[in-house]
Structure 1
Amino acid sequence: MRIGLVSDVHSNSPALESVFEELERLGVDRTLCAGDLLGYNAFPNKTLNQLIENNVTAIRGNHDEAIVTETPSNFNIPAKRAVDWTRRQLSDEEKQYLKDLPNKRRMSIDGKDVVVAHGSPTNPVNQYVFEEDVTPSALDHWFSSKPDIVVLGHIHRQFTKSINDVKVVNPGSVGQPRDGDSRSGFAVWNTEEGSIDLHRTEYNIDKAARRTRAVLPRELGDRLSEGL
């Protein structure tokens, strides 16, 4: 099987559309999302519809959590404004969809044990896990019984790392990359070969940025072309 891995879509429907086109071209069988479906950008309703229509198996990220609970005091001003604005755009049904998402999943896919968390497996909503944080001792802390693959999000940066037969991957951000590359990030896991390939794809940044600037702080639209 080929499994699409995405994260941090952040209400960027034009970016998600391009990623889905690439995933279809690459022949994926299903897609997992490591959280932060919404926030930051200006297409929350369409983004949710795209994820649902494509049968994406998702979890809740910290921005999703903020939208359906309350805006955290530690969010910066643009993030707070985006969360508050997004909350007002959602129907009760859409809010319930976010509320019903778990903050972590552990499942079997093609005989492989898979964990999906936005932050870390022990702090699934809020902890930042960078590539250098993935160590044998971290895996020992996270798991008493180790899975085959761990899918993380939250940092908006891509990496894949293998430690003692455990593969840890962050597919990067679909909707707001922060590694200097403005293209959407995603990954494809081949369960038979055991390979994980990181991908980037271009999308209509001008369309996303123009709409975001119209309703949200200008810097949120501006940063899309900078990949920061």
Structure 2
Amino acid sequence: MRVLVISDVHSNLEALLEVLGDADGFDLAICAGDIVGYGPNPSECLRKIDELGFHSVMGNHDYAIVTGDTSGFNPYAAEAVRINRRLLEADEVRRLGSLPMGLNLEIDGVRIQVYHGSPSDPVNEYVFPEEAEAVAEDYLEALDVGLIILGHTHIPYVIETGNGFLMNPGSVGQPRDGDPRASYMLLEIEGSSVKVDHRRVDYDVDSVASKMRRMGLPEVLAARLYGGW
């Protein structure tokens, strides 16, 4: 089975559409949270994710838009939450509120769990690549699964152990690993075998940044898209 894995779209429609085009078809799709926040097109991104039947979890920006609680957010992120919330219809906010904190899936005998943050703090904890190396084996053993998918850091990684994989597809809409291209992963799962293909794709950053400026989103959020930081 061909599985598309994305995370942290952050209202970046141009990046999302380029990823979907590059993936060129899939049997199942997973989003590890933060469909909205930061960018200019929250409604369009949410509709596209739903239209394609993604299995999605709630991210911290999704949660902030639903609750209005931006405690712990920097001023730029908090302002983007307020603007995104105004751009969404009431039923779209309710849809975000219906997203689960975690997902349990099974594909061809491979048991999968998905969180935005971590198994212990599904929405807010960051598991960066260095921590991932240290905790992968323990996570996989404790959860008794073959694959754990996380988001939140905007930094892609794949950790393979004797028990399976701990992975983060990186960010579609706001990469932070020094590469401004949208990041995602394609999995081929067959007979308990998992093959991971990490991909990067260019998108029209100028178009997204221009929309962000017109909407009054903080300049720093537009500028960072050019450098992937």
TM, length-normalised to structure 1: 0.95
State the match for 1:17 in structure 2: 17
**d(CA) in 2 for partners of 1:73, 1:143:** 33
1:173-184 matches, within 5 Å, as 173-184=171-182
In the TM superposition, residue 220 of structure 1 has moved relative to its aligned partner by 0.9
State the match for 1:221 in structure 2: 222
Secondary structure of the residue that 2:210 maps to in structure 1? helix
**d(CA) in 2 for partners of 1:147, 1:34:** 17
In the TM superposition, residue 135 of structure 1 has moved relative to its aligned partner by 4.4
**d(CA) in 2 for partners of 1:141, 1:59:** 18
Instruction: Extract unaligned runs of 5+ from structure 2.
Output: none
State the match for 1:85 in structure 2: 83
1:10-159 matches, within 5 Å, as 10-24=10-24, 27-135=25-133, 139-140=137-138, 144-159=142-157
Question: Which letter does structure 1 place at the counterpart of 2:198?
Answer: L
1:164 is aligned, of 162, 165, 168, to 162
Question: Which letter does structure 1 place at the counterpart of 2:53?
Answer: N
Secondary structure of the residue that 1:121 maps to in structure 2? coil
In the TM superposition, residue 134 of structure 1 has moved relative to its aligned partner by 2.2
The answer to whether the Cα contact below 8 Å between 1:71 and 1:84 also exists between their aligned partners in 2 is no
**d(CA) in 2 for partners of 1:70, 1:225:** 29
**d(CA) in 2 for partners of 1:136, 1:87:** 37
**Structure 1 residues 13, 64: closer, same or farther in 2, change over 3 A?**
same
**d(CA) in 2 for partners of 1:107, 1:115:** 6
Partner deviation per Cα, 1:102-139 (whole Å, 9 max, x = no partner)? 01111112221000000111111000001221246554
The answer to whether the Cα contact below 8 Å between 2:154 and 2:175 also exists between their aligned partners in 1 is yes
Question: Which letter does structure 1 place at the counterpart of 2:4?
Answer: G
In the TM superposition, residue 222 of structure 1 has moved relative to its aligned partner by 1.1
The answer to whether the Cα contact below 8 Å between 2:10 and 2:39 also exists between their aligned partners in 1 is yes
Higher mean alpha-carbon deviation, 127-136 vs 73-82, is at: 127-136
Instruction: Extract unaligned runs of 5+ from structure 1.
Output: none
In the TM superposition, residue 143 of structure 1 has moved relative to its aligned partner by 5.4
Displaced runs of 4+ in structure 1, greater than 6 A?
none
Q: How many residue pairs end up in the alignment?
A: 226
State the match for 1:208 in structure 2: 208
**d(CA) in 2 for partners of 1:143, 1:87:** 39
In the TM superposition, residue 72 of structure 1 has moved relative to its aligned partner by 2.3
**d(CA) in 1 for partners of 2:19, 2:163:** 28
Higher mean alpha-carbon deviation, 157-166 vs 97-106, is at: 157-166
Higher mean alpha-carbon deviation, 32-41 vs 161-170, is at: 161-170
Higher mean alpha-carbon deviation, 217-226 vs 170-179, is at: 217-226
The answer to whether the Cα contact below 8 Å between 2:137 and 2:163 also exists between their aligned partners in 1 is no
Partner deviation per Cα, 1:132-160 (whole Å, 9 max, x = no partner)? 21246554367534201010000001100
Question: Which letter does structure 2 place at the counterpart of 1:221?
Answer: A
**Structure 1 residues 41, 163: closer, same or farther in 2, change over 3 A?**
same
The answer to whether the Cα contact below 8 Å between 2:136 and 2:159 also exists between their aligned partners in 1 is no
Question: Which letter does structure 2 place at the counterpart of 1:65?
Answer: Y
State the match for 2:2 in structure 1: 2
In the TM superposition, residue 96 of structure 1 has moved relative to its aligned partner by 1.1
Higher mean alpha-carbon deviation, 86-95 vs 3-12, is at: 86-95
